[in-house]
Amino acid sequence: MFIKFIIKSLIIFAFIFGLFSFVATAQEKDTIPIQLSGLVVTADSLKPIPFASVSVHGTDRGAWTDVNGFYSLIIYRNESVEFSSIGFKPAYYHVPDTLTKYRYTLIQSLRSDTIYLAETYIFPWQTYEQFKIDFVKVEVPDELAYSNALKNIEQIKKSLFTVYLPMDGAGNYKCISNSWAKKASSIGFMPTIGIGVP
């Protein structure tokens, strides 16, 4: 009788231990971290979206994409990942609980979000009619037009002087020095020929 009691106790103990180990394994499976990495791109042209937000919904974990749209973050099974950026509609990805590997790559595309704003006119006058009246009354002084024309003529004179006047001593020295430096840097090599020179 005592032996039957011990056998029944061992069977019950083995059953309870097996049940707890199964539950612990199932919970441990959900707490194993998974590395999710990939790209965030535009839906229409597949160009990378820099500095987009990639966050795990309902937690304080997340990441930003780099200049090339690449991201990497740690997630767990049964979590939702939110992808968002200014000018795009947010997208969500639910991590399934059937994942078997511990590294996954996801390329997420975001659709552009177009916001149409009403047309706005900004004037320093109270009404459009006052603006029209003041605009017609404005007189441009002749002195301003004359001074602008003189400035333009001075610039044209300077450009003509640089083309037609001969170089001074410093300019000649610089030209000769550059020529010698070019010859010295190509010693032992084939002579260089400019593009378009016959």
The pLDDT tens digits for 80-97 are: 999 999 989 999 999 998
Q: Is residue 63 part of a domain?
A: yes
The candidate with the shortest Cα–Cα distance to 71, out of 86, 87, 85, is 85
Q: What is the pLDDT of residue 71?
A: 95
Containing structural domain, residue 168: 128-183
Q: What is the pLDDT of residue 130?
A: 86
Number of independent structural domains in the chain = 2
pLDDT in tens, 120-131: 877 787 888 888
Q: Is residue 56 part of a domain?
A: yes
pLDDT band at residue 22 under the 50/70/90 scheme: very low
Q: Is residue 18 part of a domain?
A: no
Statement to judge: residues 88 and 135 lie in one domain:
no
Task: Name the domain boundary from 53, 78, 110.
Answer: 110
pLDDT at 165 over 80: no
Q: Which pTM was predicted?
A: 0.47
Distance CA(65)–CA(51), nearest Å, equals: 5
CB 56 within 8 A of CB 79: yes
Q: Is residue 19 part of a domain?
A: no
Distance CA(182)–CA(170), nearest Å, equals: 18
Distance CA(82)–CA(87), nearest Å, equals: 15
Q: Is residue 17 part of a domain?
A: no
Burial 149-169 (b: 16+ CB within 10 A, else e): eeeeeeeeeeeeeeeeeeeee
- CATH number, domain at 38? 2.60.40.1120
Q: Is residue 189 part of a domain?
A: no
Statement to judge: residues 139 and 98 lie in one domain:
no
Task: Name the domain boundary from 77, 110, 143.
Answer: 110
